[in-house]
Amino acid sequence: DTGVSQDPRHKITKRGQNVTFRCDPISEHNRLYWYRQTLGQGPEFLTYFQNEAQLEKSRLLSDRFSAERPKGSFSTLEIQRTEQGDSAMYLCASSFSTTGASAEAFFGQGTRLTVV
């Protein structure tokens, strides 16, 4: 399978616990994005990596959220002290570009987080 892979697909956690999600992008893609999608809404941008550098973060990304992309390959998104409002689908996407904007971004199947 050469698509974007996310793990786990589903996560149920108690409020206050920490959770970590993983994304494996398409191997030659240098750009990686995290989006959050709540029920009835389209995905909203959270953060962006070009290779290993995190170059942009949305205001949606509170200080409880942290993302990494060591070595410019897979990425992790950690949420500390989860709140019920964090319940959402977390989508990862990757794309390739050498200069300027590329064409389409490819998405993974997402991680659905439920905070109880």
Letters for 53-92 (x = contact with another protein by CB under 8 A, - = none) are --xx--------------------------------x-x-
Residue with tokens 């589903």: 10
Work out whether 43 is an interface residue with another protein (CB under 8 A). Answer: yes
C-beta separation of 43 from 102 below 8 A: no
How far, CA to CA in Å, does 67 sit from each of 26, 71, 75, 89? 18, 13, 7, 16
42/33 Cα distance (integer angstroms): 15
3-state secondary structure of 25: coil
Task: Name the residue nearer to another protein (CB basis): 79 or 93.
Answer: 93
Smallest separation (angstroms) from another protein to the CB of 27: 18
Choose which of 26, 45, 80, 87 interacts with another protein (CB under 8 A).
45
Work out whether 107 is an interface residue with another protein (CB under 8 A). Answer: yes
3-state secondary structure of 14: coil
Note the residues at the interface with another protein (CB under 8 A): 31, 33, 35, 40-45, 48, 55-56, 89, 91, 93, 95, 97, 100-110, 112
